[in-house]
Structure formats: C-alpha cells, structure tokens
Amino acid sequence: MVSFLALQTSGGKTVVFFDLKTTGLASTCDIIQLAAVSGEHSINRYMVPEAAIDPDAAGITGFSVQDGVLLHWDTAVPTVPLREALTSFLTFLSSLGGPVLLAAHNGKRFDAPILTRQLLRCSLMQQFQQLASMFMDTFLLKTTGLGGGQGFVETSGGKTVVFFDLETTGLDSTCDIIQLAAVSGERSFNSYMVPKAAIDREAADITGFRVQDSVLLQGGRPVPTVPLREALTSFLTFLSSLGGPVLLAAHNGKRFDAPILTRQLRRCSLMQQFQQLGSMFMDTFLLSKNLYPMLDSYSQVNLVKHFLGKPYNAHNALEDSRVLQELYRCWNPIQTSVSRVTF
C-alpha cells in the first residue's frame, strides 16, 4: 500500500528529489539518466545521448555508448528517446496531485539549468510550468535559508536578487509611479499609488490604468492605493526583511526603472535608508543581450515566448516581476555576466 504520509512538503508544494547523470560536468551537457523520488513514488529513465560522453564523466558514472547502445559498467540498459523520458517525468510529477518543488544537490548550478534547457529543446517547458514547479538546491539549503518558505531565492555576489517592475504615468524616466511590485523567491510585494502627474494616453492604453475622481482604475475597476511615501517605506521594509544586501533586477532598469525609483526615493527623503540596505541594480535587458546576442528582440514579452514558451499578463508589475525571475532562472547567468550589467 502506498504511504502518502511519507511525502515531504514545503510551502504547500510536494518535494520531489531528483538527480541527473550527464555526458559531462558542465551545465550544457546532455542527460543520460533522469531519476526522481517522492515518498514511495519514483521514476527512472535512461537515454542514449547525442553528445559524446566525456571521459571524466564516464569514469564517475560508468556510462558509455557502444554501437548506439547505452552501457552502465559494460551492461546494456534499456533506453527511451529524450522527449519520451521528459514526458514520462512530467506525467510522474502530475500524478503527485499538486504543485511540486524539485530538489537537487547543486541544483542551481547544474541539474536545474540542464533540465530546463532540455525541456525547452523538446517544447515541454509550458507543461512543466503548469505544474507550478520550482527548484530547491540542497547544497545551498543551509546558507540561503530555502527551508524558510522563500522558495528558490536567487543570489549574486553575496546579494539577494529582487526582481521588480514599475508601471508609470508615461514612457520616460521623469514620470510618476502607479504600481511598484517585486518578487524574491516566493515572497512578493505589490503596491498601487494615485499619481500626481496625468497618465499619458499611450501608457494608459498599455497598462490599463486611469484616474477618475482621484480613484485609480485598472481595466475600469478601482484598485486600493496608498500614498507614495507609504508605498516606498513598505518597499524598503520588504527589502530589509530579506536579511541582507539586495540586487534589484529590472528589465531596461538602467534607462527606466532605476532612475524613476531613485528619483522618487529622493523626493520622499528615503534614499539614505535605501542605500543602507547595500542595494545595487541589475539590468536584465542588457544581460539578455550579452548572453544571447543573436536574438531578434529583447523585449520581455519576446524573451518569455522564446525561453519559457508561454504567454503572460504583460504590463502588470507583479506579473512582470514573477516572469522576470523565471527568465533569470532559465538563463542561470554566471557571476561575471551579472557583474557586467550591475550598477
């Protein structure tokens, strides 16, 4: 009889422990074996890789390929095509009956990037995301506090990465903030303000925000608002609660979000408190251009379609922040790449 009591859970998600055996020791290699366990449920699939198996990896894992047959310590093992293996893995996750948290040792740098790259390659990323899947790195568990309900919190150079977005009264860096939202792991912040400046018609058409009789409307419906200073103070409290210096990441942040946010912080005499948090900014627009120089467009909508294969509610600051975090996880940039677009 299956014991469902043995299933580990975290933040309402079922924890699935998984591991990959691969053709090499880099995050760009092919998968040879994909296995996962949750309670008494398990899955195990082998694949004949397209890439050659690196001698170092072969010495560690015992896998080799001879005449198109996968061998493990010279014994043939049954294999399936990559797409079939990944589809079976998604079926396994779905059978657990709810959102899952995928746990792997050194998952952030190795297993998660490899798995997501192969899911994208097989056009299965959207199905994976419908399971509300997130990753946890058990190697980093003690140092990043992943057991505290924050999910897979991104860090870079000793700073916690916070993905944020603004919706504003216009499309230039001198406009007012209407919505300020941020995400870090599973923690989020969202606040609306009635702006002093009039909302530009083009911005209104894009975001759906309008002001009528001093009430902020989105899509014709009123939304709860707070004064600008209260919203910014709450935002600083949110950043402070993350327990260390933060790196604020925004798409086109260098030319748009960062100048607007810092101008409003100065306007409300909150810049010193912001700086005391050790805060810096990162521009994911510049990051994506550096990482993937051959793309046709670097708009966030296009990047989400290209890398995540799904539509989303663009120009809602909270949703923009969440999906930007997903993109960053998919890219898994090294520290050097991040440093180049940090300011």
Q: Going along 195-245, which residue ranges are E strands?
A: 209-212, 215-218, 221-222
Question: What is the Cα–Cα distance from 231 to 71, expressed in whole angstroms?
Answer: 60
Q: State the fold for domain 4-147.
A: Nucleotidyltransferase; domain 5 (3.30.420)
Burial of 90 per CB tally in 10 Å (0-12, 13-18, 19+): middle
Question: What sign results for the dihedral spanned by CA atoms 133, 186, 306, 338?
Answer: negative
- Domain borders along the chain are 4-147, 153-340
Question: What local confidence, expressed as pLDDT, does residue 1 receive?
Answer: 28
Evaluate whether 38 touches 15 at the Cβ level (below 8 Å).
yes
> 153-340 in CATH: which number?
3.30.420.10
Torsion of CA 253, 257, 262, 268, to 10 degrees: -160
Question: What local confidence, expressed as pLDDT, does residue 314 receive?
Answer: 82
Mean pLDDT by 10 residues, the chain (343 residues): 41 84 88 93 95 89 94 94 96 89 87 91 88 76 39 72 96 92 93 96 92 94 95 95 91 96 96 91 96 92 88 86 92 89 95
Question: What local confidence, expressed as pLDDT, does residue 167 receive?
Answer: 96
Phi (first) and psi of residue 90, to 5 degrees: -65, -40
Do the domains spanning 4-147 and 153-340 agree at the CATH topology level? yes
Question: What local confidence, expressed as pLDDT, does residue 60 receive?
Answer: 85
Question: What local confidence, expressed as pLDDT, does residue 133 receive?
Answer: 65
Question: What is the Cα–Cα distance from 267 to 316, expressed in whole angstroms?
Answer: 24
